[in-house]
Homo-oligomer: A and B are copies of this chain.
Amino acid sequence: MSAEKVTIADVARTAGVSKGLVSFALNNRPGVGAETRVRILQVAQDLGWKPSLRARSLSTQRSFALGLVIARNPEVLASDPFFPSFIAGVESILAAERRALVLSVVPDEETELQTYRSLVADGRVDGVFLSDLRHNDARIPLLTELGLPAVTLGRAEGDSPFPAVTIDDTPGVMESVRYLADLGHRRIAHVAGSTNLLHGTRRREAFAAAMTAAGLPDGQTVETDFSARAGSDATRRLLGQAIRPTAIVYANDPMAIAGLGVAHELGIRVPEDLSITGFDDIDFCRYVFPPLTTVSAAPAVWGRAAATTLLQLMEHGRADDVDLPAARLIIRGSAAPPTRH
């Protein structure tokens, strides 16, 4: 029927008021008589008027969209389901708000910064999510300069003007080490993620601290880039030694799963000859054998919280940091007491 697009002028004419008043009524701002407001809204409803997002964008200088720029290397991106889950969480909040998510996947940091610039220059987004925080993260001064609201996933180091939505990984790593130590392991190694990444460093530090707390000698640590390939290589190196660790704590699940593959290949039984733990609790953990003991991270919950916080920041100009329940150890079958030998 009324396939023709109806504009604010149509509503105004039909309701017998001016365009401006319709706008006021719609955005329920003061200055509109009570019954007039009702009438206007009624007419709008009858006519099926949907204010044009584009027109609104032009005059308000807002886009009603949020941005996410992902700068992971393709290998890591492909094996880590963090973002799909995180995004699903974000969307569950945005959908109700008539807001959209603009996604960019870029190959490197250079392009990443450039992408933020053009996102702002084009007014594509009103705010962004900052994930995979790095040391001295160049995005923070950039976004500050650009005046773009943002929420960081995890607390940024230094002083960041942006609210942080955080899941503390430290307890999860501590628990992993503690659990392995309690099982009787003494030679525990760590396959760390990239130390460029804050969470890479943090997990690594948590590992070191936990070893000390458990009264164990410093564990061997191998740095990687978080990719399955790197996890495989690191494991091969650790297990190729004359005296090898009896347990390995991996900084993420893809690396742990790759490590499990290497152990199988080398004929090293898990968990009898080698115990391993992962981090993130990706879906695959449950389906490899033995099922992977890991630390839960709840990316979807994280997405919801981050979206909520970002929206609040944009509405009210400020938002509090949010601390989500700390990641906890999930015990499955990939760890057991070490066998004497």
Contact = CB atoms under 8 A, between A and B. Distances in A.
Interface stretch (A131-139, A181-189, A260-268): A260-268
Interface string A285-316: 01111110000000010000000000000000
Contacts of A227: 283
Given A91-B106, A102-B100, A121-B50, A261 B283 contact: no
Nearest to A270: B264
A123 interface: yes
A228 B287 CA distance: 7
Contacts of A242: none
B87 A78 contact: no
Interface in A243-284: 254, 257-258, 260-265, 282-284
A58 to B, nearest CB: 5
A179 interface: no
Nearest to A300: B74
Nearest to A255: B287
Contact of A104 (B83, B100, B260): B100
A88 interface: yes
A47 interface: no
A104 B106 contact: no
A319 interface: no
A75 to B, nearest CB: 6
Contacts of A265: 289-290
Contacts of A166: none
A193 interface: no
A57 interface: yes
Given A78-B81, A228-B287, A102 B102 contact: yes
Nearest to A68: B103
A118 B229 CA distance: 41
28 contacts: A53-B122, A53-B123, A54-B58, A57-B57, A65-B124, A74-B300, A75-B283, A77-B84, A77-B88, A78-B81, A78-B84, A83-B84, A84-B105, A91-B103, A91-B104, A91-B106, A98-B122, A100-B104, A100-B122, A102-B102, A229-B287, A231-B287, A257-B287, A260-B288, A260-B289, A261-B289, A262-B289, A264-B289
Contact of A85 (B74, B101, B231, B289): B74
Interface residues of A, number: 65
Interface string A193-236: 00000000000000000000000000000000001110110000
Given A54-B61, A111-B95, A254-B284, A101 B100 contact: no
Contacts of A119: 100
A34 interface: no
Contact of A106 (B95, B106, B232, B287): B95
A187 B265 CA distance: 27
Nearest to A74: B88
A160 interface: no
A179 to B, nearest CB: 22
Contact of A81 (B61, B81, B92, B229): B81
A55 interface: yes
A61 B53 CA distance: 11
